[in-house]
Amino acid sequence: MEFLSYTLQQLINGLQLGAVYALIALGYTMVYGVLRLINFAHGDIFMFGTFVAYFCIARWHLPIYLVFMITIGATAALGVLVEKIAYKPLRAAPRISLLITAVGVSLFLEYFLSLNAMFTPNYIAFPRPFDVAGYDASLVVVTNIQLIIFSVTAASLFLLYLLVYRSKHGRAMRALSHDQETASLMGINVDATISFTFAVGTACAGVGGILYGFAYPQINVFMGIMPGIKSFIAAVLGGIGLVHGAVLGGLLIGVSEVFVSAYLSSTFRDGFIFVILLLVLLFRPSGIFGRRIEKV
């Protein structure tokens, strides 16, 4: 009974982490879908979102809905800005140039924001706008933070579903990910759609950033690196380019990370992620939901 309760508790903690990974992985998978680019800077945009939320809450004392709106707006703007300045001029260049540029953007964001004039490289305590409360549900304890994370993630996913599968913009995005040239011949504005995809993907990362701040309230400018890499691996696990794949992959990675920490050792959890990546790439390179047998 004790074991079962402990395992269930870890499962819930894992889903909490996995929900944040899922939100970040969505941005990776959508950008990869339209541009065939691993946006290395995505993890740093997620970090930027957490910091914007920090400023909204700790410095400006804004109500919670404004925190969400401003953070989403700021991360989406940063995402579009990065795309326009750094990625757009290289669209015809080899993919590897684009990838190296993305690595450069990522390093630039990290080290520019770590300047003492900006956010400083120190750890900062993220203030929660509410007190933590736990609800005892016989076997497990669920905190209000977890409930907030689950409901916000679910709502974001629902909105995203409407956007991608039920709107004109979403159809343009999906068309672009199938065949860019044909899509442009059908009258789809390629540049605008790519920018739009970046905006939506980084907005998801912004939501993830706020939730991450609630759940793990020690933030610093380098906090985006590991969640970024893990979320990308989550996107590959679910099948890169697929929205539902990113969600499932994120949840799986989050749960397995928490389980490794709980049952093996917390120092192994970052290494474990590489083992997962290797296994996926070896046995199912197109991911869980990926149907096309493409040599990645």
Partner 1 sequence: MSFLRSARRLLLVSVVVYVLLKGLFLSGLATEYLQQIILYALIVIIGSLGLNVIYGYTGQFSLGQAAFYGIGAYMSAYLTHVFSIGSALPFLPVLFASGLFSALIGYLIGFPILRLRDDFLAIATLGFGIFVRVFLDNSDRLIDALGGARGFVGIPRITSLDLVLPVTIVLILVTRNVIFSKYGLFWQCIKDDELASSAFGINTGRMKSMAFTYGCFLAGIAGGLYAHLYSFLHPSNFDFLKSIDFLIIVIVGGMGSITGTIFAGLVWVGFIEGLRIVLPSGMLEYRWVLIPILLIVLMFWRPNGLMAQKESRFLGIDRVS
Contact residues for partner 1 (CB under 8 A)?
37-38, 86, 89-90, 93-101, 103-108, 111-112, 114-116, 121, 225, 229, 232-233, 236, 265, 267-268, 270-271, 273-275, 277-278, 281-282, 285, 295-296
**What burial letters (b/e) apply to 249-272, b meaning 16+ CB within 10 Å?**
bbbbbbbbbbbbbbeeeeeebeeb
Please count the other Cβ atoms lying within 10 Å of the Cβ belonging to residue 8: 13
238, 288 contact by CB (below 8 A): yes
* Nearest distance from C-beta of residue 223 to partner 1, angstroms: 15
Non-local CB neighbours of 1 within 8 Å, separated by 6+ positions: none
Which lies closer to partner 1 via its Cβ, residue 62 or residue 281? 281
* Nearest distance from C-beta of residue 38 to partner 1, angstroms: 5
* Nearest distance from C-beta of residue 37 to partner 1, angstroms: 7
Alpha-helix residue ranges (DSSP H) falling in 83-141: 95-113
Distance CA 27, CA 16 (A): 18
Which lies closer to partner 1 via its Cβ, residue 172 or residue 205? 205
Give me the long-range contacts of 262-269 (CB less than 8 A, separation at least 24): 262/6, 262/10
* Nearest distance from C-beta of residue 164 to partner 1, angstroms: 23
Which lies closer to partner 1 via its Cβ, residue 96 or residue 185? 96
Closest CA to 204 of 170, 153, 241: 153
* Nearest distance from C-beta of residue 285 to partner 1, angstroms: 8
* Nearest distance from C-beta of residue 237 to partner 1, angstroms: 12
Which lies closer to partner 1 via its Cβ, residue 1 or residue 293? 293
Which lies closer to partner 1 via its Cβ, residue 101 or residue 193? 101
| Intra-chain end-to-end CA distance of the chain, in Å | 44
Which lies closer to partner 1 via its Cβ, residue 94 or residue 187? 94
